[in-house]
C-alpha cells in the first residue's frame, strides 16, 4: 500500500461513505444491495483488499460491509483532513464524495431532500460548492435539491 491515497471518483465515493460509517473498521452501512456491491467492487479494485477479508453482516434492511486495515484507515482519515481543499471544485471528485455522503445518510421524499447528521465541515463544503442547506436538529435540508441531484446522480447508488 502506498503512502498516499490515490484519489479518483470511485475512491472519493467510498471516502464520503466512510466519513459517516459508525464502525472502527473501514466500512459502510448500506441500505441496498447496489451500494454494498459497489463498495465491495471498489475496495477489491482500488485498495487491493483480499475478498476473504471483507466481512458482511445483515440486520433487517441494512447491510454492513467492513474490513480491518490500519494503513488504509490512516490514509482515508488523512484524506478527510484535506477534504476542504480536495473537494473545493465542482468536479467528479466532489460529486462522488457528496454522493457517498448522500447514499450513507441522505434521502429524498415529497417534502424535500435531507441528510441526517451532516457534519459542520461538510455543510460548509456544500455551501462553497453552491448547495445551500438548512439545519434543524440532526437533520439538514437541502434548499436547492434539484441542483444537488443533477450534480451527484451520476455517482450515487440511490439516485440511479
Domain boundaries, the chain: 9-80, 86-152
What is the DSSP secondary structure assignment for residue 145, as one 8-state letter? H
pLDDT in tens, 103-139: 999 999 999 999 999 999 999 999 999 999 999 999 9
pLDDT in tens, 15-50: 999 999 888 899 998 888 888 999 999 999 999 899
Report the pLDDT value the prediction gives residue 1, as an integer from 0 to 100.
53
Cell of 18: 466512510
pLDDT band, very low/low/confident/very high, at 150 (cuts 50, 70, 90): very high
Domains 9-80 and 86-152 belong to one CATH topology: yes
pLDDT band, very low/low/confident/very high, at 60 (cuts 50, 70, 90): confident
Domain 9-80 coded CATH 3.10.28: yes
Which fold does the domain 86-152 belong to in CATH?
Endonuclease I-creI (3.10.28)
pLDDT band, very low/low/confident/very high, at 102 (cuts 50, 70, 90): very high
pLDDT band, very low/low/confident/very high, at 2 (cuts 50, 70, 90): low
Cell of 58: 445483515
Distance (Å, whole) CA 112 – CA 60: 26
Half-sphere exposure of 42 (CA within 13 A, CB side): 27
Q: What is the pTM of this model?
A: 0.93
Give φ, ψ of 111 to 5 degrees: -90, -15
In this model, does residue 62 exceed pLDDT 90?
Answer: no
Amino acid at each position: 500500500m502506498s503512502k498516499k491515497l490515490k484519489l479518483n471518483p470511485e475512491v472519493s465515493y467510498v471516502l464520503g461513505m466512510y466519513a459517516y460509517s459508525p464502525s472502527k473498521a473501514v466500512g459502510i452501512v448500506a441500505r441496498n444491495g447496489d451500494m454494498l456491491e459497489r463498495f465491495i467492487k471498489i475496495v477489491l479494485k482500488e485498495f487491493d483488499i483480499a475478498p476473504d477479508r471483507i466481512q458482511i453482516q445483515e440486520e433487517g434492511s441494512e447491510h454492513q460491509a467492513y474490513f480491518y486495515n490500519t494503513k488504509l484507515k490512516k490514509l482515508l482519515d488523512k484524506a478527510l483532513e484535506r477534504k476542504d481543499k480536495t473537494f473545493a471544485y465542482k468536479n467528479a471528485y466532489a460529486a462522488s464524495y457528496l454522493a457517498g455522503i448522500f447514499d450513507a445518510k441522505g434521502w429524498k421524499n415529497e417534502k424535500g431532500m435531507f441528510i441526517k447528521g451532516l457534519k459542520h465541515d461538510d455543510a460548509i463544503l456544500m455551501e462553497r460548492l453552491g448547495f445551500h442547506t438548512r439545519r434543524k436538529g440532526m437533520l439538514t435540508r437541502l434548499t436547492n435539491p434539484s441542483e444537488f441531484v443533477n450534480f451527484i446522480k451520476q455517482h450515487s447508488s440511490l439516485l440511479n
